[in-house]
């Protein structure tokens, strides 16, 4: 996905952020259901991505098709996707899949409260998805069974879930989706995509901190408290000593970098003088 489609997906995920703290599996199930309907109709995909139609017109089509059949939240998310620009008809389906999976991941975080339980929940989900892929990749018979065109989606799902009997609801939903609606991919490849989303969310719980010298226990506690307050959650802090910083501290949480090192300030000063 590139160009306009990539920008539209990024916009959709950014808009989703405000909904994620209350995300539930039921919302994800609705979005996966909408995806199934969209995927089943090439004409619908073309209509929802037709550049000749206005965003309002395409959003209206979504309301006509799904209004009263899904929650207001699922309808709003899908309308937002329809209003955006897409480079190809398939891209809106890919975006729906990504958004639905992101909701699943967030719902797993939301089941926990306090401490680093959110990170532990994501690690557990990641491990359950890895366990499924390992089971499938270790058996040629299982791979053939899951790709058998004559087998029903329900039969494939039942077989797949027997491979991960202790998995939680979030992992079971993602595995079921990958097996019943692989959308042209092998189920393990789609599960790998879901794992990437889990890994991306995990980064939001981990603070990679670089300092010029080891901190005292009191300093480390103050830093931990400050970061927790800044990000609104209890982060897992990984501390590394980097003498090249000269002084200060550099913090990375996910894609965000908070840099208060002397070396950075000197660099900024040099750029100002050069300008």
Return left, alpha or beta for 248; rule: phi > 0 is left, psi -120 to 50 is alpha, else beta: left
Q: What is the pLDDT of residues 135-145, one digit of tens each?
A: 999 999 999 99
175 alpha carbon, distance to own chain's centre? 15
Is the same domain home to 109 and 167? yes
**Confidence (pLDDT) at 266:** 60
- Average pLDDT of every residue of the chain: 90
Distances (CA, A) of 178 to 16, 27, 76, 94, 189: 22, 17, 24, 13, 8
Q: What pLDDT was estimated at residue 255?
A: 79
**What's the domain range around 258?**
204-274
Evaluated on CA atoms 212, 216, 217, 218, the torsion sign reads negative
Alpha-carbon distance 126 to 131, whole Å? Answer: 9
Task: Check whether residue 252 and residue 190 sit in a common domain.
Answer: no
Residues 27 and 107 occupy one common structural domain: yes
Domain count, the chain: 2
- Which pLDDT does position 260 carry in this prediction? 76
Hey, which residues does 253 pair with through a beta bridge?
Answer: 207, 256
* Residue 92 confidence (pLDDT): 96
Do the strands 206-211 and 236-241 form a parallel or antiparallel pair, or are they unpaired? parallel
Quick one: 167 and 212 in the same domain?
Answer: no
Q: How confident is the model at residue 270 (pLDDT cuts 50, 70, 90)?
A: low
User: In this predicted structure, what is the pLDDT of residue 227?
Assistant: 86
Domain boundary among 147, 172, 202: 202
Q: Both 65 and 123 in a single domain? A: yes
- Global pTM reads 0.82
- Same domain for 270 and 186, yes or no, is no
Domain boundary among 202, 217, 240: 202
CB count within 10 Å of CB 24 equals: 16
Residues 166 and 57 in one domain: yes
pLDDT tens profile 145-189: 999 999 999 999 999 999 999 999 999 999 999 999 999 999 999
- For residue 26, give every residue at least 6 positions away whose Cβ sits within 8 Å of its Cβ, in sequence order, or none: 71
Residue 149 neighbours by CB distance under 10 Å: 4
Q: What is the DSSP letter of 147?
A: T
- Are 181 and 221 in a shared domain? no
Burial 180-199 (b: 16+ CB within 10 A, else e): bbbeeeebbebbeebbebbe
Same domain, 198 and 213: no
Distance CA 14, CA 156 (A): 34
* Whether 164 and 257 share a structural domain: no
């Amino acid at each position: 996905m590139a160009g306009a489609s990539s920008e539209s997906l990024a916009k959709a995920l950014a808009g989703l952020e405000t909904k994620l703290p209350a995300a539930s599996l039921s919302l994800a199930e609705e979005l996966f259901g909408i995806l199934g309907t969209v995927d089943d109709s090439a004409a619908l995909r073309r209509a929802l991505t037709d550049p000749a139609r206005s965003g309002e017109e395409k959003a209206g089509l979504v309301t006509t098709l799904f209004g009263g059949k899904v929650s207001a939240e699922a309808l709003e998310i899908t309308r937002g996707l329809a209003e955006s620009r897409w480079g190809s008809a398939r891209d809106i389906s890919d975006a729906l899949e990504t958004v639905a999976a992101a909701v699943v991941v967030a719902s797993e975080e939301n089941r926990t409260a306090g401490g680093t339980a959110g990170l532990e929940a994501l690690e557990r989900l990641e491990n359950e998805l890895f366990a499924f892929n390992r089971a499938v990749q270790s058996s040629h018979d299982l791979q053939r069974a899951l790709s058998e065109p004559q087998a029903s989606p329900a039969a494939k799902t039942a077989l797949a879930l027997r491979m991960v009997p202790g998995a939680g609801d979030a992992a079971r939903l993602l595995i079921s989706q990958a097996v019943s609606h692989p959308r042209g991919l092998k189920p393990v490849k789609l599960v790998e995509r879901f794992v990437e989303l889990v890994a991306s969310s995990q980064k939001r719980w981990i603070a990679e901190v670089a300092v010029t010298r080891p901190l005292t226990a009191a300093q480390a506690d103050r830093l931990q408290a400050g970061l927790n307050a800044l990000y609104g959650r209890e982060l897992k802090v990984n501390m590394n000593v980097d003498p090249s910083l000269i002084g200060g501290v550099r913090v990375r949480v996910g894609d965000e970098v908070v840099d208060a090192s002397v070396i950075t300030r000197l660099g900024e000063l040099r750029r100002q003088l050069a300008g």
